[in-house]
Structure 1
Amino acid sequence: MILENRMNITDSAELAYEEERISKKKAAQLFDNKLLDSIPAGKFDTLQAIHKYMFEDVFGFAGEIRTVNLAKSNFRFAPLMYLQAALDNIDKMPQSNFDEIVEEYVEMNIAHPFREGNGRSTRIWLDHILKNEIGKVVDWSKVDKEDYLLAMERSPIKDVEIKVLLKGALTDEINGREVYMKGIDQSYYYEGFTAFKTEEL
């Protein structure tokens, strides 16, 4: 199924290429223009702003809460009827240390609030929290793709794996453009535009 898009593209490969090209450019602008510096860390409103900015030139639903149920592999994300309550609860979660921040990240992944682009926008959101709360960010180039995907699949039941994986990749280069851009590139590598993409139920 090809998502309705602003370019009226009907070919999945072409849409994936344009989505990556445009949203990577917008993600870089988030950093270069310091657009995240003045907004609060860890709030859903902030994630919405990130998602809207990255994808508004691609999808009409950018920044809007999804209106369909989604699954990935054998995992179903938060059902629509509980989604708003889940987001409200995430906004109230503590985030004063690394473990609490990753727990918040895991819960946001379970919520999966957008129709597309959740992983990419949420990883920027996570680094924004880490930067503001503990003076660290993740060097995503040090996070193995398969280890990450498996750890995230298991994180709703046991989050130890994802905590160990991300803790080992922390860096204090919080203002390093190279680290940030490597993270953007890795986000698309993790997503892969493969069978691991979300499916509408």
Structure 2
Amino acid sequence: MKLKYQLKDNNFYYTNTDISKNKFDIQDSQIIHDIEQELLIKSYEIFLDELDENTLFDENYFKNLHKRTFASLYDWAGVYRDFNMAKGESRFCQGAFVESSSKKIFEKLKEDNYLKDFENRPKEEFAKKLAYYKCELNALHPFYELNGRITRMFFDMIVIFNGYKPIDYSTITPKQYIDCAIDCVQYADKSGFEKIILNGLHKIKPN
């Protein structure tokens, strides 16, 4: 069983499980995982189809990724948490400050033009920026669940906009990824993700 989030209100999960309460009252972890994966694949297709020069990778876009992907399954899709959460030794942004902290992250991202002008800039510079914001959103951990998958999709849309394929994580193990995420949250160390992203960035070859 995966490590559950530590919540003050354990009513979020079904009793003695790591399964979030859902609209269909499904309590089989494999079925839930399969449904989530199907919804994510479908959402990738939808958001890719909608991607154009007017797309703004702002806070509203980020929330909508989560809401539109998982609203059919969870009531809390797209809703920021207002309570404290931890996982293992990692303590995420306090619930009372999620909204204000998110505003600051996306204000800074706006100053960086939502990373929309990196198509012809050095890949190393792009990877550094992506790792910075990835770590910021990891530490924020704004949603009840499914933060990692939505955050990865968010940055995939940004790199695709800039002429890259989705970030390739296939050369690392899940443990290596999790260790980098822990380093981000506990030590504000983005170097691990910077290396992973740099190695996973590949330009789309022109036809």
Question: In which range does the TM-score fall when normalised by the shorter chain?
Answer: 0.7 to 0.9
Q: Which runs of 5+ in 2 are unaligned?
A: 1-12, 15-19, 119-124
In structure 2, do the counterparts of structure 1 residues 49 and 70 end up closer, same or farther at CA, with 3 Å as the change threshold?
same
1:149 — aligned with what? 178
2:140 — aligned with what? 111
In structure 2, do the counterparts of structure 1 residues 64 and 166 end up closer, same or farther at CA, with 3 Å as the change threshold?
same
Instruction: Identify the range of structure 1 (148-157 vs 96-105) with the bigger mean alpha-carbon deviation.
Output: 96-105
In structure 2, do the counterparts of structure 1 residues 162 and 174 end up closer, same or farther at CA, with 3 Å as the change threshold?
farther
Q: Structure 2: how far apart are the matches of 1:124 and 1:15?
A: 19
Percent identical: 23
Q: Structure 2: how far apart are the matches of 1:30 and 1:174?
A: 21
Q: Structure 2: how far apart are the matches of 1:170 and 1:90?
A: 23
In structure 2, do the counterparts of structure 1 residues 80 and 50 end up closer, same or farther at CA, with 3 Å as the change threshold?
same
2:107 — aligned with what? 92
1:173 — aligned with what? 204
**RMSD of aligned alpha carbons:** 2.3
Matched residue of 1:71: which SS? strand
Q: Does the aligned pair in 2 maintain the 1:78–1:111 contact within 8 Å?
A: yes
Residues 135-171 of structure 1 deviation map (CA, whole Å, 9 limit, x = unaligned):
3341232343221111111024211111012101111
Q: Normalising by structure 2, report the TM-score.
A: 0.73
Q: Does the aligned pair in 2 maintain the 1:69–1:77 contact within 8 Å?
A: yes
| Larger Rg belongs to | 2
2:55 — aligned with what? 39
Q: Does the aligned pair in 1 maintain the 2:156–2:167 contact within 8 Å?
A: yes
In structure 2, do the counterparts of structure 1 residues 19 and 101 end up closer, same or farther at CA, with 3 Å as the change threshold?
closer
Q: Does the aligned pair in 2 maintain the 1:143–1:166 contact within 8 Å?
A: no
Trace 1:120-159 onto structure 2 (pairs within 5 A): 120-132=149-161, 134-136=162-164, 137-156=166-185, 157=187, 158-159=189-190
Trace 1:46-65 onto structure 2 (pairs within 5 A): 46-65=61-80
Residues 121-147 of structure 1 deviation map (CA, whole Å, 9 limit, x = unaligned):
110111222333x43341232343221
